[in-house]
Amino acid sequence: MLDPEQLQKGIFECFKYSSHNGVSLQCFISYCVCVFPQLEEWWLDAAYLELRYPSHLNVNFGGPAPYLEHCWPPTEGVQLQRTSISMWHTLQYWDLLRTERLDPHKAGNVALDMDQFRMLFCTCKVPGVTKDTIINYFKTESEGPCPSHVVVMCRGRFFSFDAVCDGHILTPPELLRHLTHVKQCCEGEPAGDGVAALTSEERTRWAKAREYLIGIDPANKTILETIQSSLFVVSLDDAKPYATAEDYTPMTREALTGDPTIRWGDKSYNSISFADGTFGSNCDHAPYDAMVLVTQGYYVDQQLKASDGKWKGSETVRPMPLPEELVFTVDDRVRSDVAHAKQQYFETTQDLQVVCYAFTSFGKAAIKQKKLHPDTFIQLALQLAYYRQHGRSGSCYETAMTRRFYHGRTETMRPCTLEAQNWCHTMLLPAASAEAKRKALLLAFNKHNKLMAEAQNGKGFDRHLLGLYLIAKEEGLPMPDLFTDPLYSKSGGGGNFVLSTSLVGYTTVLGAVAPMVHYGYGFFYRIGDERIVASCSAWKSSPETDAETLFQNLVTSLHEMLHLATTAQL
């Protein structure tokens, strides 16, 4: 990636940094560790809350639900019935959290921090002129009362109802009654004002629009608080993606870039119900990492599979109030703000290329049979795919989970190592022998596994560098040249990774994100025993990138790697 002169200059900056300003910053960060909440707050601000560009598309993650692979294939006329059952299972998961019956997660014998799970329900980001805030209303039963209402959005309109009646969660027939009422209210009527589209705006512009909205009618503030405190948002979407188990592209694209008037972009969980009976989600990334939603999504998936997607309980519908419509007071300025938000959103989403396919030739079982780590296998295949397509290595971010620590979230693992680069170069040399490729591959595997273990155990360096950067900024100290050196951003520093990647896990749940940079890719993947499903995104306006081509190159790389592992008997 770097020429010798750049590398020499970068090394010099690192030495200069560590021998001068770095010393005082290191001492200060040691002190800050003793007041950890401030460090935690600094990270959240820098990573999410101080960002000013639109977060709905650039920060949120979205993805398809896997139910179509078993009991719920695309089918028209069942949207509301299926939504009622999906909602019921989601509410059961909320009850597990509220009653503290969800088993703590473990990595081997090590218990993992579960704090992020508090943010799945009753949570919302609120825009500020210079910095956003996260408001969390969730409480366990032992902590006190917790909001139990759900907001349903349909054709630009808002409705709300309590999901609990007389201490019991509403059953699917009762939920269906409410959803049917909402749908009937919206059918044949003009679309609502679409105020939700404002959440897709640039953050400062949205903050000012929100202030104005509250100013013209105090009732608008009450509606905003009702949305913010709701358990989650259900989006009744008229789109019919008609995805398949082999091609999730239409669903993934709709989940990530669909109608902004029926998604509250700041909400921790938007459950999207499509008109063809399939489902997706769109979630703000600031309160929690994707693994929280993956766990909830996998729970619902397994419950649906066990019941064949059917409700087998009572059909009785208790008497209760119908959903209440939440109607914002708007004027010409608000309508203009909504129109502007929709225009910028659609212009941006139309530029985003999203593909999501299943690779079905093999999966985790075949990879582990070769005594290779499945995640490392995919990451190195991606490095080779990018190298083949672009003729060079690309700086890469992979999520390393740090929930072994108190309130731990993530650290950066950098798969673009010298060993990986050397292996990619060797793989494309016509004269390279299988033995040379094998040795280079093993070195790349070992280096990747070592760096991932270090990152997960708190020995990564990206979060540490961020802490030093923020301390210098906070204390008014001279900013070390390391952070302004082009080498730093070229390596991915400052959120400039060409490949933004994450293993979503070994379940049935997948997500997708937009690229970090205009000339980059977003790449999420899940690994099953016999299949690998991956989503890839790129900006169409970038002449350098193409998500479809990258995925096809990934397929080629996967086949080549397994062939190499088989013939060389790794």
Q: What is the pLDDT of residue 411?
A: 95
* 325 and 366 assigned to the same domain: no
Average pLDDT over residues 13-37: 53
Q: Would 310 be classed as within a structural domain?
A: yes
Specify if 125 maps to a domain: yes
DSSP 428-492: T-TT--HHHHHHHHHHHHHHHHHHHHHHHTT--SHHHHHHHHHHHHHHTPPPPGGGTSHHHHHTT
Average pLDDT of the segment spanning 144-154: 98
Report the length, in residues, of the chain.
570
Q: Do 234 and 288 fall within a single domain?
A: yes
What pLDDT, on the 0 to 100 scale, is given for residue 24?
58
Q: Which one, of 329, 389, 394, 383, lies nearest residue 192 by Cα?
A: 329
Judged against a pLDDT cut of 60, whether residue 141 lies above it is answered with yes
The reply to whether 33 falls in a domain is no
Does position 349 have pLDDT exceeding 60, yes or no? yes
pLDDT at 31 > cutoff 80: no
Whether the per-residue pLDDT at 32 is higher than 60: the answer is no
Please tell me whether residues 399 and 499 are part of one structural domain. yes
Helices 203-216 and 218-229, axial angle in degrees (round to 10) = 130
pLDDT the model gives residue 207: 98
Under 8 Å between Cβ of 262 and 227: no
> Same domain for 221 and 288?
yes
- Is residue 480 domain-shared with residue 546, that is, in the same domain? yes
Question: What confidence tier does 6 reach under pLDDT thresholds 50, 70, 90?
Answer: low
Residues 367 and 340 in one domain: no
* Residue 25 forms part of a structural domain: no
Q: Is 7 part of any domain?
A: no
The predicted-structure confidence for 466-480, as pLDDT tens digits, reads as follows: 888 888 888 888 888
411: domain CATH number is 3.30.559.10
pLDDT at residue 493, rounded to an integer? 92
Q: Summarize pLDDT for 271-315 with one digit per residue, the tens.
A: 999 999 999 999 999 999 999 999 999 999 999 999 999 999 999
- Decide which of 352, 378, 396 is a domain's last residue: 352
- Average of per-residue pLDDT values in the chain: 93
In a domain, 16, yes or no: no
Q: Residue 30 above 50 pLDDT? A: yes
**What CATH number does residue 269 fall under?**
3.30.559.70
Give the model's confidence band at 4: pLDDT under 50 very low, under 70 low, under 90 confident, else very high. Answer: low
Provide DSSP, 484-540. TSHHHHHTTTTT--SEEEEEEESSS---B---SSTT-EEEEEEE-SS-EEEEEEEET
Q: Which of 285, 373, 407, 425 is catalytic?
A: 285
Question: Is a pLDDT exceeding 90 seen at residue 506?
Answer: yes
Active site residue 149: no
Neighbours of 261 (CB within 10 A): 24
Q: Both 339 and 384 in a single domain?
A: no
In this predicted structure, the answer to whether residue 9 has a pLDDT above a threshold of 90 is no
How confident is the model over 391-399, as a mean pLDDT?
A: 97
User: What domain range is 462 assigned to?
Assistant: 360-565
Question: How confident is the model over 59-89, as pLDDT tens digits?
Answer: 999 999 999 999 999 999 999 999 999 999 9
Residue that has been written with the tokens 């799970």 in this structure: 117
Query: Is 21 a residue whose pLDDT tops 90?
Result: no
Is 50 exceeded by the pLDDT of residue 485? yes
Q: Which two tokens stand for residue 9?
A: 């200059």
Distance CA 385, CA 359 (A): 14
- Domain assignment present for residue 212? The answer is yes
> Which pLDDT does position 37 carry in this prediction?
60
Average pLDDT over residues 125-146: 98
Residues 245 and 314 in one domain: yes
Query: Is the distance from CB of 513 to CB of 527 less than 8 angstroms?
Result: no
Asked whether residue 375 falls in the same domain as residue 468, the answer is yes
Q: Do 335 and 366 reside in the same domain of the chain?
A: no
- Enumerate residues 6+ apart whose C-beta is below 8 A from 218: none
User: Is the per-residue pLDDT at 5 higher than 70?
Assistant: no
pLDDT band (50, 70, 90) for residue 569: low
pLDDT of residue 11: 43
**Residues whose CB is less than 8 angstroms from the CB of residue 208 and which lie 6 or more positions away in sequence, other chains included:** 129
The stretch 31-47 carries a mean pLDDT of 73
- Residue at 558 is within a domain: yes
Residue that terminates a domain, selected from 352, 377, 408: 352
Instruction: List, for residues 397-452, the tens digit of each pLDDT value.
Output: 999 999 999 999 999 999 999 999 999 999 999 999 999 999 999 999 999 999 99
pLDDT at res. 554:
98
pLDDT of the residue at 195: 98
15, pLDDT greater than 50: no
**% of the chain surpassing 70 pLDDT:** 93
CA distances from 550 to 386, 437, 528, 544 (A): 7, 22, 21, 11
- Same domain? For 184 and 298 the reply is yes
Burial of 103 (0-12, 13-18, 19+ CB in 10 A): exposed
pLDDT tops 80 at residue 1: no
**418 shares a domain with 308:** no
Domain boundary among 352, 382, 397: 352
* Number of folded domains that form the chain: 2
